[in-house]
Amino acid sequence: MCRYVVTSIVDDTDAVQVTASPAGSGAVRLDVRVAQGEMGRVIGKRGRVAHAIRTLVRAAGSRDDVDIEVEFVD
């Protein structure tokens, strides 16, 4: 779901990379990487888009009792 949302925001959809790794105590960490210059679109003004993405992904994870952390990596 995270990949779907991010690819719908950016222009260079081939450069989107989402990697999952364990974050301890049953949590999952998603690292999101996009093309150079696209990070501003993903973060949005005052981080509103990034916050919305994190909220959406956490809500999807809570359905399966999984804590998900989303990190946007340059």
Cβ-in-10-Å burial (0-12, 13-18, 19+) of 25 comes to: exposed
Using a cut of 0.75, tell me whether the model's pTM lies above it. Answer: yes
Domain that holds residue 37: 2-73
Cβ-in-10-Å burial (0-12, 13-18, 19+) of 30 comes to: buried
Tens of pLDDT, residue by residue over 23-46, are 888 899 999 999 999 999 999 999
User: What is the chain's mean pLDDT, rounded?
Assistant: 94
CATH number of the domain at 52, please. 3.30.300.20
Domain total for the chain? 1
Q: In which residue are the tokens 């005052």 written?
A: 46
